[in-house]
Structure 1
Amino acid sequence: MSTPNASHRDSLTQHFIDQGKQVLTIERAAIDGLFSAINQDFARACELMLQCKGRVVVTGMGKSGHIGGKIAATLASTGTPAFFVHPGEASHGDLGMITGKDVVIAISNSGETHEVLAILPVIKRLGVPLIALTGKPDSTLATLADVHICVAVAEEACPLGLAPTASTTATLVMGDALAVALLHARGFTADDFALSHPGGSLGKRLLLRVSDIMHTGERIPKVNADAIITEALLEISRKGLGMTTIVDANDTLLGLFTDGDLRRILDQRIDIHQTPISKTMTTQCITAHPEMLAAEALKLMETRKVNGLIVIDKNKRVVGAFNMHDLLRAGVV
């Protein structure tokens, strides 16, 4: 039998789960309702930002301001120069940050936010195109805008109908839609993205190339084709990559021998003190090239289920080697 306290806890747990699902249901409906707003006005807003010679300036008050900051950040990181200006601060000097070459996105669910409306005369006087995101197509802000995108929602997820919830979600999603549409129009690439994200693991995954992490020169494990297996094992131990290349006099790759190959030949009772490595090496080698992105190399290793790669140049000469530990140290994994 459940105790009263346990029963109360079970009831409270179910309440939390039900309310969480209810919020998701309402906000999902809000997003579904945006499809009708992806229309000619949406396309015109994208055109204005694509043609912008300056920057996209996003403004909004309160929760709309927080969403505006995120939209500005997303635009900036996907190829559309943008920044956020607080409308309250704009009235006290920050309007000087806006130039005639810019485009302004103003966000207000009601379309009547005083601080936003107060800066519109200056924006209009500068001749700056104004894009408004509101939930009220007949509002002052929507009427004065050059382009209005409706982000109206049927209801807020807040049961009191007071805290912006579904409305801010809808606005954020619309901002993402604008940013991604512009990304495609600009032909923005992963390399472009990496230039504005050089820090952390994201930048490393996008910017690092195999040449940045591979072992070179004397650190490359290699033996000639006449070496016996024990000599190859000593080279594997010395270089610490779990493998060795087999090369000719010009360092052209002939084959590869790994720790895994050793386990297989031991099962076959091959004499490792007498047998040349050329008799047991793998000739169909999986290789990388120096300019390959480290992230591409990682995907190749995961797909082919190998722990290391040999790096060759266009003439099939061995120029480097690396393993999963090198990728881990570089922050690629």
Structure 2
Amino acid sequence: METTMKKIVAEIANVMDKMNEQDVEAVAQRLEKAPRIFVIGEGRSGLMARAFAMRLMHLGATSYVIGETITPSIEKGDILVAISGSGRTHHVVWTAQKAKEQGVFVQALTTNPEGDLAKTADAALIVPAATKFRREGEAPSIQPLGSLFDQSAHIVFDAICLKYAEAKQISQQAAFQKHSNLES
């Protein structure tokens, strides 16, 4: 009998098998050229966005999380990475629309190619995972709510970071130098 953890890993592997590596690479290439990268997401997806921004900072990118007190105004030439499993999270979609008005490139990460976020974005990376809404056609999942999407998003973001680091020739040691040094 499969363990719960093995079932979860199998669900994630199923999602990853349906993704196109070239799409992930295209996102990394866009980010390589951006002077600044901003991220937005709500709930657990927002935590994935924050983890992504942190890792980008470790890799030498100038990255910000929308809503944090030290986040500057966004400007033309910047990139906004907006994440919403459903593609309809109001604050995320609204922020993407506002960013577009500023001339910012919007990169979406969502399950829903027909959602408002994908329609607003300049590019959408579709992660074919289950969300809390369990729409028809979503991957099946034993996990609650949008856990499968959030786990898959974390892996996709890490894959983007890996491609980014390779292109920028950022070594493990260089990334470690940017890691917090105020921890025990």
Q: TM-score if structure 2 supplies the norm length?
A: 0.82
- Structure 1 residues 96 and 84, CA, compared in 2 at 3 Å: closer, same or farther? closer
Structure of larger gyration radius: 1
For residue 78 of structure 1, report the CA deviation from its aligned partner.
2.1
Aligned pair partner of 2:50 in 64, 69, 77: 69
Aligned pair partner of 1:172 in 144, 154, 179: 154
Deviations 1:227-247 (A, max 9, x none): xxxxxxxxxxxxxxxxxxxxx
- Structure 1 residues 77 and 94, CA, compared in 2 at 3 Å: closer, same or farther? closer
Task: Please say if residues 80 and 96 of structure 2, whose CA atoms lie closer than 8 Å, have aligned partners that are also in contact.
Answer: no
Aligned pair partner of 1:140 in 110, 116, 124: 116
Number of the residue aligned with 2:98: 122
Give RMSD over aligned pairs.
2.6
State the percentage of identical aligned residues: 23
Number of the residue aligned with 2:142: 157
Letter in 2 for 1:79: G
For residue 40 of structure 1, report the CA deviation from its aligned partner.
3.7
Task: Please say if residues 56 and 81 of structure 1, whose CA atoms lie closer than 8 Å, have aligned partners that are also in contact.
Answer: yes
SS of equivalent residue, structure 1 residue 80: coil
Name structure 1 gaps, 5 residues minimum: 1-17, 203-333
Write out aligned runs for 1:34-45 (5 A): 34-45=16-27
Deviations 1:93-138 (A, max 9, x none): 9885322231111000000101111122321111111111101122
Greater RCO (Cα-Cα under 8 Å, separation 6 or more): 2
SS of equivalent residue, structure 2 residue 107: strand
- Write the distance in 2 (CA, Å) between the matches of 1:118 and 1:152: 23
Task: Please say if residues 16 and 152 of structure 2, whose CA atoms lie closer than 8 Å, have aligned partners that are also in contact.
Answer: yes
Matched, 1:26 2:2: no
- Structure 1 residues 187 and 129, CA, compared in 2 at 3 Å: closer, same or farther? same
Letter in 2 for 1:121: Q
- Structure 1 residues 201 and 59, CA, compared in 2 at 3 Å: closer, same or farther? closer
Letter in 2 for 1:38: N
- Structure 1 residues 116 and 39, CA, compared in 2 at 3 Å: closer, same or farther? same
Matched, 1:197 2:179: yes
- Write the distance in 1 (CA, Å) between the matches of 2:97 and 2:119: 13
SS of equivalent residue, structure 1 residue 119: helix
Aligned pair partner of 1:98 in 67, 74, 90: 74
SS of equivalent residue, structure 1 residue 104: strand
Write out aligned runs for 1:319-330 (5 A): none
Write out aligned runs for 1:180-191 (5 A): 180-191=162-173
Number of the residue aligned with 2:88: 112
For residue 67 of structure 1, report the CA deviation from its aligned partner.
1.2
Task: Please say if residues 130 and 147 of structure 1, whose CA atoms lie closer than 8 Å, have aligned partners that are also in contact.
Answer: yes
Task: Please say if residues 65 and 71 of structure 2, whose CA atoms lie closer than 8 Å, have aligned partners that are also in contact.
Answer: no
Q: TM-score if structure 1 supplies the norm length?
A: 0.48
- Write the distance in 1 (CA, Å) between the matches of 2:128 and 2:5: 17
The count of corresponding residues between Structure 1 and Structure 2 is 175
Name structure 2 gaps, 5 residues minimum: 130-138
- Write the distance in 2 (CA, Å) between the matches of 1:81 and 1:96: 11
Letter in 1 for 2:80: V
SS of equivalent residue, structure 1 residue 79: coil
